[in-house]
A = this chain, B = another copy of it.
Amino acid sequence: MRSGTDRPRVAILGASGYTGAELVRLLARHAGVELTVLTADRHAGKPLGDVFPHLGGLGAPDFLRVDEVDWTGIDVDLVFCALPHGTTQEVVAGLLGAAGPARDAKVIDLSADFRLADVETYAEWYGRGHLAPSLQPEAVYGLTEFARGALAGSRLVACPGCYPTASLLPLVPLVENGAIGLEGIVIDAKSGVSGAGRALKEATLFSEVAEGVHPYGIGGHRHAPEIEQEVSRAAGEPVTLNFTPHLVPMNRGILATIYVTMTDGLTADDLRAVLRSRYEGEPFVRVVDAGIVPATRHVRGSNRCLVGVFSDRVPGKAILVSAIDNLVKGGSGQAVQNMNVVCGFDETSGLMQGPLFP
């Protein structure tokens, strides 16, 4: 990164998807950085406003092909990778590897390529070998509220998936504190459609989604091992849990309804107190009062996570509810939050836009 008062120059690779566009939205008005490179192979040569009319007039650079970026010419200090899963490892290896032209760059990766610490687990769930195994150990799993120390000196951040973010923020403190049992955790999650990206799929056509709801990836969604990895780390022992995502006819938002068994003698109020204590002073995580129910519409467009704790009528059971915007705290917002920590900016820079309701 350049020294002095110069603002870091930022590249966004894969900027024509929804997370890419959201990065542009957030970074274009971030005072600390300069947006210098946007890549999108399919749209190379086009202005941003042709692909995303809502982003026209920002003065952002036109799209390049990723292979047109002049890494050696130090175009770039910070790279956000919003490329499809499976294509990032090679790109990052090229950038940061031993012979890489941009070894001093920092990479904030929004794909799944560096989230799983164990390259064997990666291979099992993603159906192909890891292409940058030597870089994996230095990847920091960027659930910001739990990663600040590691982020500070890092040059490779693996931003959590949207579902893991919504699931881990309520779960991790409770597991770390032994407030809940490790058996029988059920995460029933509901997501808006933007989480599926802008690629053409019959399943995300308007008429296939509107006026309906359904689960998908039952028993086999790739965010399951990611959630388990972090819950196991918090527990200090391997944890297997249920994770079942559902598609809801809305653009943005993830709601996670999490069913847990409380440690003997504890109440929902106790669980809430653990979370309150952990998140006190956190700018983006808000543990709501008893009786308030988190809803995705109350975080839309913002980097916030709302967390609620409820007694079940089944004795000993509690229900955790969390809500995030999948494209912000569950995606580009958390990526910018991580960048802020990595670069030593105020952690809330560029992220204080309030939710948009209705």
Q: Which residues of A contact B (CB under 8 A)?
A: 18, 21, 25, 28-29, 52-58, 184, 186, 188, 190, 192-194, 198, 200-202, 204-216, 218-220, 224, 240-242, 244, 246, 248-253, 255, 257, 259, 286, 288, 292-302, 306, 310-315, 317, 319, 321, 323, 327, 352-358
Give Cα A323 to B215, complex, Å: 11
Asked whether A53 lies within 8 Å of B311 as measured between CB atoms, the reply is no
- Say yes or no: B312 contacts A219, CB within 8 Å: yes
Q: Say yes or no: B244 contacts A300, CB within 8 Å.
A: no
CB-based contact B250/A215 at 8 Å: no
Residues of B within 8 A of A53 (CB): 288, 292, 295, 298, 306
Closest to A357 in B: B54
Contact B54 A355 (CB under 8 A): yes
Question: In chain B, what residue has the closest Cβ to A218?
Answer: B310
Contact B219 A293 (CB under 8 A): no
Q: A354 and B54: CB pair below 8 A? A: yes
With A53-B295, A355-B54 as given contacts, are A212 and B300 in contact (CB-CB < 8 Å)?
Answer: yes
Tell me whether B242 and A314 are in contact (CB under 8 A): yes
Contacts of A58 in B (CB 8 A): 354
Given A255-B246, A354-B29, A215:B313 Cβ within 8 A:
no
CB contacts (< 8 Å) of A300 on chain B: these are 54, 211-212, 356
A213 touches B250 (CB 8 A): yes
Alpha-carbon distance between A9 and B125 when the two chains are bound, in angstroms: 49
Chosen A-B contacts, 18 in total, with CB atoms closer than 8 Å, are: A54-B357, A58-B354, A193-B206, A193-B207, A206-B249, A206-B251, A207-B358, A210-B210, A210-B250, A210-B358, A211-B297, A212-B250, A212-B298, A213-B248, A213-B253, A219-B313, A220-B313, A242-B319
B321 touches A215 (CB 8 A): yes
Taking a contact as CB atoms under 8 Å apart, the answer to whether B214 and A301 are in contact is: no
Residues on the B chain within 8 Å of A317, using CB: 242
A152–chain B nearest beta-carbon distance, Å = 27
Contacts A214-B295, A249-B249, A257-B244; A202 near B207 (Cβ below 8 A): no
A200 near B205 with CB under 8 A, answer yes
Q: Are A214 and B246 in contact (CB under 8 A)?
A: no
Other A-B pairs, 11, CB within 8 Å; known A210-B251, A218-B319: A21-B357, A54-B354, A54-B355, A188-B188, A198-B207, A200-B201, A207-B358, A211-B358, A219-B319, A220-B313, A242-B314
Residue of B nearest to A53 (CB): B298
Q: Who on chain B is nearest to A212 by CB?
A: B297
Name the residue of chain B whose CB is nearest to the CB of A190.
B213
Set of chain B residues within 8 Å of A319, measured between Cβ atoms: 215, 218-219, 242, 244
- Which residues of chain B are within 8 angstroms of A242 by Cβ–Cβ distance? 259, 312-314, 317, 319
| Alpha-carbon separation in the docked complex, A313 to B219 (Å) | 5
CA gap between A257 and B114 in the complex, in Å: 31
- Name which residue of chain B comes closest to A323, CB basis: B214
Complex Cα spacing A283 to B18, Å: 25
Q: Check A259/B186 contact, CB under 8 A, given A202-B200, A313-B220.
A: yes
Contact of B250 with A211 in the complex, beta carbons under 8 Å = yes
Residues from chain B with Cβ under 8 Å of A248 in the complex? 190, 213, 248-249
Indicate if the CB atoms of B293 and A214 lie closer than 8 Å.
yes
A259 to chain B, nearest CB (A): 5
User: Which B residues lie within 8 Å of A188 (CB)?
Assistant: 186, 188, 257, 259
